[in-house]
Amino acid sequence: MNTVILTGNLGKDPEFKVSADGKGICNLSLAVGQRVKKDGEWVDGKPMWFQVKFFGVQAEKIVDKFNKGNTVTISGRLAQSWWEKDGVEHTSLDIYGNDIHKVERQEKAESAVSSSEAAPF
């Protein structure tokens, strides 16, 4: 099974574009913190960065609802892509998102955008 669940902070505002076939694509940059043991104590390490893509109507909704700095939980699947530029082959490991939930303080309600959601907000 190819399933990824990550919680982290958006490193920039979501970027929306329309593909050549007219489908919406939303790109997110997600920083996920790491805890490392240093001198016998757990401390915050450098974050790992993930590129996440959402598609279709869901992509449009994300752009309106999420911003840089939001803490979110994302579920999706890993997808690898390859391309050639200037004779050099490149590869990228991305996450194709299924669901995204805003993680807020306990007193606030949780926001969500799900690919299985049929009704608009």
Domain boundaries, the chain: 4-34+44-114
- C-alpha 59: how far from chain center: 11
- CATH match of 4-34+44-114 with 2.40.50.140: yes
20 vs 1: CA distance, rounded Å: 30
The distance of Cα 44 from the centroid of its chain, to the nearest Å, equals: 21
pLDDT value at position 118?
A: 38
Phi, psi of 56 (to 5 degrees): 70, -150
Q: Which of 88, 77, 31 is nearest to 54 (CA)?
A: 77
DSSP-derived pairing of the beta strands 41-44 and 88-102: unpaired
pLDDT in tens, 99-118: 999 998 655 455 556 655 43
Report the C-alpha gap between 78 and 120 in whole angstroms: 27
DSSP letter at 11 equals S
Q: Percent of the chain having pLDDT more than 90?
A: 67
* pLDDT at residue 18, rounded to an integer: 94
Q: pLDDT tens digits, residue range 24-56?
A: 999 999 999 888 888 888 888 889 999 999 999
